[in-house]
A and B are shown apart, each in its own frame.
Chain A
């Protein structure tokens, strides 16, 4: 069965960096894109963008350019989200997910989420 296993809770200080991992299994990793979604405490879902797992090409939503980087290690079927120069407002649960088929289709499979807390 399809699984997306994310790295655990992370506590970082403002200005630091964090890398969230998302290990996929149960399907051919390079066949489907990986999508990243952010959910701040008590807030709704926010689409951060996606990465083409075949070409490695990332697409970032408005508001997620510059400090946010999507990357892959296809040898271990894992996607990464790196956030640099962390701010308090980056505190959120970050989800990786896989769509039904293409990036325009519904998001069928979700990781459990990684809580990143930014606090001094």
Chain B
């Protein structure tokens, strides 16, 4: 089955820019979505279709996808951005959804 690999953890200082990667075979040919999940809460969709932001998500969040890596970027990181982030896509070969392994983001 299709595998999406994310770094287990990322640390970033407030005000800096954070990039979270999601690696998969030829992922650039697929459509990637991203979720933010805070402890004890349901996931929140923060990016869909590679680079579209749902209503209510700050412009500080952006996304890109090319080659073997999809990236979620958060500019001007705030303490409230501390959460787990998951990438996700639809694998048309199996007709199933796949979630990435998740990245725990710590704001220093």
Contacts and interface: CB of A to CB of B under 8 A. Distances in A.
* Interface size band for A: 20 to 34
A44 B45 contact: no
B35 A62 contact: no
Nearest to A109: B45
A45 B35 CA distance: 10
A112 to B, nearest CB: 6
Interface string A33-66: 0010100000011110110000000010110000
* Interface size band for B: 20 to 34
Interface stretch (B20-28, B73-81, B98-106): B98-106
Contacts of A113: 42
Contacts of A111: 42
16 contacts: A45-B37, A45-B86, A46-B99, A47-B96, A47-B97, A50-B97, A61-B96, A95-B43, A104-B97, A105-B33, A105-B48, A106-B47, A106-B54, A107-B43, A108-B45, A110-B43
Interface of B: 1, 31, 33, 35, 37, 42-45, 47-49, 54, 84, 86, 88, 90, 92, 95-102
